[in-house]
Amino acid sequence: MRQLIRNVEIFDGTGSARRPGAVVVEGDRIAAVLDDGPAVEAVCADVEMDGQGGTLMPGMVDAHTHLTWGSSVEKIYHQFILPPEELKAAAWRNARVLLDHGFTSLYSAGALGDRIEPELARAIAAGETPGPRLVPSTLERSPEGGEGIETGDVFNGRGPEAMRAFVSYCANAGVQSLKLVISGEDALKPGSSQDILYTEEEMLAAGEAAKEAGLWIATHVYTPRAIHLALEADARILYHCSFADDAAIEAMAARKDRIFYAPGPGVSVAALEAAPPPHIDMGAMKASAAQRLELEKTLVPKLKARGVRVLPGGDYGFPFNPHGRNARDLEHFVRHYGYSPAEALSAATMLGGQLMGRQVGLVREGWLADLLLVEGDPTQDVAIMQDKDRIRMIMLGGQLHKSPLNQPINA
């Protein structure tokens, strides 16, 4: 089927200014990106959609997604660990909620249930349930007792051979990116962000095994030593990195063409905004959030200036930070990290597509037709992306998940 989306202002994902034009979609791909004028009038299409002057842009990518962290704008859970069937139902729901809010690709940062995400990724790809493209993960792996609070699992033991066995398990389970928790977490156990939970031998073994299996590694890191271990293991994406020193910054910059970085401001801002009931003590989490956010205000611009690819994705899924609010990260990039709206949008589209390793994130001929039609100009006010009602069309691989409002989609 040949589809024409006309009368739009195109934001192509690169960060360049919008320009008037039209896009032709054939099957699941963008067949042509046209300037406004006679070329558009000459197009013969099975379906025409009038964008009414809205912004046509790539679908967004969340680089730090936890679909099994159950809470969304549609359903809040006040417990973190859910029964298996409810956990699965929450993951399926959250995938659809994120697509509803304009996220057409997700990179998983770990799951609370084993094999849930590979199953969900297969179901989405088969058209059995709505959801974004998904790079699935499995249980976040952190050494037993290392944090004092159970946040992950280590069901293959310790040592280099155990790491190789874990990677083999992930490959057999259909995982594409395994999550390794290298640093502790102050929000759960104050002071533990300075802890190192793996040995160098374990990390090197994980890196070698992942490379052999064709898998990626995502890492939870805070300190220079943790960052070093992640880089030595050839991790694809590093999360947080809040305590990075100048040497760690330079080490990350030296690998800028091989790594991605997602600071995760969403959970920090939401924790600071949260007003829990008296019996819920968020003191440690709020203190950690304030410290991290302040450090990252300096860190992120330094890494960006050195060409490190910095991506949105903010640990959504807590009751105080539910799925569906993920586009707040774009505003956080502008407010706290000094990005322009267009730069923040480019981080969520073009750079996110690079993380996914697929032809997504750009409005470009030959690329996958993962497209949004947005009412207004988010390159001037990125907060527009937080209002799903202003996302008038959501297209995933040429298929309409959401049709433009108040108009027929047939020619």
Which pLDDT does position 405 carry in this prediction?
58
Give the pLDDT of residue 411.
33
Q: CB–CB of 107/218 below 8 Å?
A: yes
Q: Dump pLDDT digits (tens) for 186-219.
A: 887 888 889 899 999 999 999 999 999 999 999 9
Query: pLDDT at position 142, please?
Result: 77
What's the pLDDT score for residue 161?
A: 94
| CA distance linking residue 317 with residue 314, whole number of Å | 9
**% pLDDT > 70, the chain:** 95
User: Strand 391-396 and strand 371-374: pairing?
Assistant: antiparallel
Burial 77-96 (b: 16+ CB within 10 A, else e): beeeebeeeebbebbbbbbb
Average pLDDT score, the chain: 93
Domains of the chain: 2-58+360-402 (2.30.40.10), 60-326 (3.20.20.140)
Alpha helices in 306-340 (DSSP H): 328-337
Q: State the average pLDDT over residues 7-35.
A: 97
pLDDT at 141: 81
The pLDDT of residue 117: 97
pLDDT score for 104: 98
Give mean pLDDT, residues 353-365. Answer: 98
Across residues 55-69, what is the average pLDDT? Answer: 98
pLDDT, tens digit, 9 for 90 and up, residues 92-137: 999 999 999 999 999 999 999 889 999 999 999 999 999 999 999 9
Rounded to an integer, the average pLDDT of 271-300 is 93
Q: Is the pLDDT of residue 39 over 90?
A: no
Distance CA 125, CA 145 (A): 37
Q: Is the dihedral of CA 318, 324, 326, 327 positive or negative?
A: negative
At 268-279, the pLDDT tens digits run: 999 999 998 888
The string of pLDDT tens digits covering residues 129-183 is 999 999 999 888 877 544 444 445 566 678 999 999 999 999 999 999 999 999 9
Residue 16 is predicted with a pLDDT of 96
d(CA 189, CA 275): 20
User: Mean pLDDT lowest for which of 25-29, 78-82, 261-265?
Assistant: 78-82
* Token code pair at residue 264: 């995760």
Instruction: Express each pLDDT in 376-406 by its tens digit.
Output: 999 999 999 999 999 999 999 999 999 985 5
> Cβ distance 218 to 109 under 8 Å?
yes
Concatenate the DSSP letters of all residues of 235-302 into one string: -SEEEE-TT--HHHHHHHHHTTTT-EEE--HHHHHHHHH----TT---HHHHHHHHHHHHHHHHHHHH
